[in-house]
Amino acid sequence: AQSVTQPDIHITVSEGASLELRCNYSYGATPYLFWYVQSPGQGLQLLLKYFSGDTLVQGIKGFEAEFKRSQSSFNLRKPSVHWSDAAEYFCAVGAWSNDYKLSFGAGTTVTVRA
Amino acid sequence: DVKVTQSSRYLVKRTGEKVFLECVQDMDHENMFWYRQDPGLGLRLIYFSYDVKMKEKGDIPEGYSVSREKKERFSLILESASTNQTSMYLCASSLNDGRSYEQYFGPGTRLTVT
């Protein structure tokens, strides 16, 4: 079965600074991967996804993520954070043989200070 | 846009009550999922369904049941609510087309059992 680890529980970043959220997965083959964002009191919104091909994927709200097979990682980045990026971020991994189910990380909460 | 709606945003129930959480999606998705979200644990899959009247247990099905009588509706049932079922419950849906694997989420129901 696949699993995913988000090593950082909470990150604080200044507005305008860059942001990187880490995600490591465990799976015997190449998985498909997602990043979701959850604003307070809301459901999860898809930021970006990786299925195959180019390992650098672009998403909404200026986010990008890079798939590194050798490191089993799928880290999320944003060059310049806005106050509205304060939220909880979840990495999710799926297995091609696992019938559309996803495994989610524990989440990383991002606080943006002025 | 895919829309997933959940019947209540907030719910307060007493221990031992039977609780129904309803989820409706409007994009003809075959797959539907129920998760619970707890701080530090991320999202954990309770049950999922690939088709009408079909259900499979997820990672934490104990104390829950589900019903899917129509394609667009997936209900989560707590037969006898307990305080340890106080949580945020998220419903999601996805296509079953072999190409799209992202899940679309509802806004969540925050259930408190007293």
B26-82 per-position pLDDT tens digit: 989 999 999 999 998 999 999 999 999 899 999 999 999 999 999 999 999 999 999
pLDDT band for position A42 (cuts 50, 70, 90): confident
Identify all chain B residues contacting A105, using CB atoms and an 8 Å cutoff. 42
pLDDT band for position B1 (cuts 50, 70, 90): low
pLDDT band for position A103 (cuts 50, 70, 90): very high
Q: Which residues of B55-68 are buried (b: 16+ CB within 10 A; e: fewer)?
A: beebeeeeebebbb
State the best of B44, B101, B109 to mutate against chain A, taking most chain A CBs within 10 Å. B101
Q: Tokens for B76? A: 């989560």
pLDDT score at B56: 94
A45-59 per-position pLDDT tens digit: 999 999 988 899 999
Please check the confidence at residue A98 and state whether its pLDDT lies above 70. Answer: no
Please check the confidence at residue A62 and state whether its pLDDT lies above 80. Answer: yes
pLDDT score at A96: 76
Name B57's Cβ contacts closer than 8 Å, sequence gap at least 6: B47
Q: Mean pLDDT, chain A, as a whole number?
A: 93
pLDDT score at B2: 64
B73-78: strand order across its sheet: B4-6, B19-25, B73-78, B64-70
Please check the confidence at residue A109 and state whether its pLDDT lies above 80. Answer: yes
For range A57-79, the mean pLDDT: 96
Report the C-alpha gap between B69 and B97 in whole angstroms: 21
Q: Quote the minimal CA–CA distance from A98 to chain B in Å.
A: 11
Among B residues 6-65, those touching chain A with beta carbons less than 8 Å apart: 9, 31, 33, 35, 40-45, 48, 50, 58
Are the Cβ atoms of A43 and B42 closer than 8 angstroms? no
